[in-house]
């Protein structure tokens, strides 16, 4: 272990002790009881302290490029599910992906997230070529394109992909099964472990407000993130999409989302935690508040305007894309919060 890793280990041990003094321990019943507390301010403060000590004042800005809304899966909450016939489907060309990513890099983005539905047209080889080209800009590349074979992840890794984002969605077997006619929790988790073994920085995460979810299932979601050794975790509220089976359900609780993010920070002090876009859709205020409750990452869409509105995982109002202007505006907002855009 080099000395910085050693220092981090010591810091982590010290933070774990402090977490424990506040009753934050990696045990489902204990975490569920915390999530049910009437007053959560003690944990919001602790999460903010941990964030400052491990991450400083930086807020990391990521560019997300939604390159295909084709999806072979039928996840019951997602607007891109293949049964949604109301949606016109698009696919960017590899050349346009590379150009857009290069524009984002010129605007100051240091990470490009390539996200899509599970679209078999984009073979690992095609995606690997795109990754190699984007890496030439100096930006880090995150891929978020769903479940693949271990061999396919390896191809992406060897092309230079730095990170992979794939939320486990829910750690509860029964809920997982009821929402995903096309996959299993076991397979999802196996994928996440494969990615970790292949040397990716791995992002997982889950939704708040899924039918059947309780504080205890949320606690188990947090414990799964911890067990997976996630480098990043996106925790966002479920937002009903009108073209899905779950259209009539209420959206997830904004307050519970903040609580889960705060506990994630306390349990995983070095983890990168985004203020999820879904949270911003429901509550612009809370989206900012969550940055003083543990979060340290924000994503901005750089998807071309022409196709942007077709990438609606959940409904949201979208403006035309202006990569450089939106980056500048966001940097201003971050500075206004007393934080440092990176």
Q: Toward ligand 5AD, which CB reaches closer, 118 or 162?
A: 118
Note the helical H segments in 38-184.
41-55, 94-106, 124-135, 150-158, 173-179
Q: Is 284 exposed, middle or buried (0-12, 13-18, 19+ CB in 10 A)?
A: exposed
Please tell me the distance from the alpha carbon of residue 169 to that of residue 236, in angstroms, as a whole number: 10
Closest separation between CB of residue 15 and ligand 5AD, Å?
Answer: 27
Token representation of residue 244: 């899905």
Please tell me the distance from the alpha carbon of residue 67 to that of residue 326, in angstroms, as a whole number: 19
Closest separation between CB of residue 206 and ligand 5AD, Å?
Answer: 7
Please tell me the distance from the alpha carbon of residue 147 to that of residue 125, in angstroms, as a whole number: 15
Q: Toward ligand 5AD, which CB reaches closer, 153 or 238?
A: 238
Q: Toward ligand 5AD, which CB reaches closer, 137 or 303?
A: 303
Closest separation between CB of residue 313 and ligand 5AD, Å?
Answer: 4
Closest separation between CB of residue 39 and ligand 5AD, Å?
Answer: 27
Closest separation between CB of residue 196 and ligand 5AD, Å?
Answer: 17
Please tell me the distance from the alpha carbon of residue 159 to that of residue 128, in angstroms, as a whole number: 5
Classify residue 252 by its DSSP letter: P
Q: Toward ligand 5AD, which CB reaches closer, 23 or 211?
A: 211
- Exposure on the CB side of residue 125, measured as CA atoms within 13 A: 0
Closest separation between CB of residue 179 and ligand 5AD, Å?
Answer: 10
Q: Toward ligand 5AD, which CB reaches closer, 163 or 167?
A: 167
Q: Toward ligand 5AD, which CB reaches closer, 134 or 313?
A: 313
Binding residues for ligand 5AD, rule: CB under 6 A, are 77-78, 167, 169, 207, 236, 238-239, 241, 278, 313-314
State the DSSP H helix or E strand holding residue 61, giving kind and residue range, or none if neither. strand 58-68
Please tell me the distance from the alpha carbon of residue 25 to that of residue 219, in angstroms, as a whole number: 11
Token representation of residue 303: 């998807």
User: Could you give the C-alpha distances from 300 to 104, 137, 319, in angstroms and in order?
Assistant: 10, 18, 12
Q: Toward ligand 5AD, which CB reaches closer, 200 or 238?
A: 238
Closest separation between CB of residue 238 and ligand 5AD, Å?
Answer: 5
């Amino acid at each position: 272990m080099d000395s910085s890793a050693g220092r981090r280990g010591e810091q982590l041990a010290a933070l774990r002790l402090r977490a424990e003094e506040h009753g934050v321990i990696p045990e489902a019943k204990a975490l569920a009881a915390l999530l049910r507390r009437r007053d959560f301010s003690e944990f919001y403060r602790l999460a903010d302290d941990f964030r400052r000590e491990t991450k400083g004042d930086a807020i990391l800005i990521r560019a997300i490029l939604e390159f295909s809304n084709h999806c072979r899966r039928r996840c019951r909450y997602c607007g891109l599910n293949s049964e949604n016939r109301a949606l016109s489907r698009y696919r960017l060309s590899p050349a346009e992906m590379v150009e857009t990513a290069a524009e984002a890099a010129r605007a100051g983005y240091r990470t490009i997230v390539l996200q899509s539905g599970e679209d078999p047209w984009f073979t690992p080889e095609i995606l690997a070529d795109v990754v190699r080209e984007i890496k030439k800009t100096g930006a880090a590349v995150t891929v978020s394109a769903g479940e693949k074979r271990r061999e396919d992840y390896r191809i992406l890794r060897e092309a230079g992909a730095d990170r992979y984002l794939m939320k486990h969605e829910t750690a509860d077997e029964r809920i997982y099964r009821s929402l995903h006619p096309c996959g299993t929790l076991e397979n999802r988790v196996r994928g996440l472990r494969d990615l970790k073994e292949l040397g990716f920085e791995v992002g997982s995460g889950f939704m708040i407000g899924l039918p059947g979810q309780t504080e205890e299932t949320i606690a188990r979601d947090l414990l799964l993130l911890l067990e997976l050794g996630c480098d990043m975790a996106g925790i966002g509220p479920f937002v009903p999409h009108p073209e899905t089976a779950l259209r009539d359900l209420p959206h997830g609780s904004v307050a519970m989302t903040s609580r889960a993010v705060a506990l994630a920070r306390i349990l995983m002090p070095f983890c990168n935690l985004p203020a999820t876009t879904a949270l911003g859709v429901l509550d612009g205020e809370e989206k900012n508040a969550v940055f003083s409750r543990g979060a340290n990452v924000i994503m901005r869409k750089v998807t071309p305007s022409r196709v942007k509105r077709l990438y609606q995982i959940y409904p949201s109002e979208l403006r035309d894309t202006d990569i450089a202007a939106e980056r500048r505006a966001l940097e201003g907002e971050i500075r206004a919060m007393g934080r440092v855009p990176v």
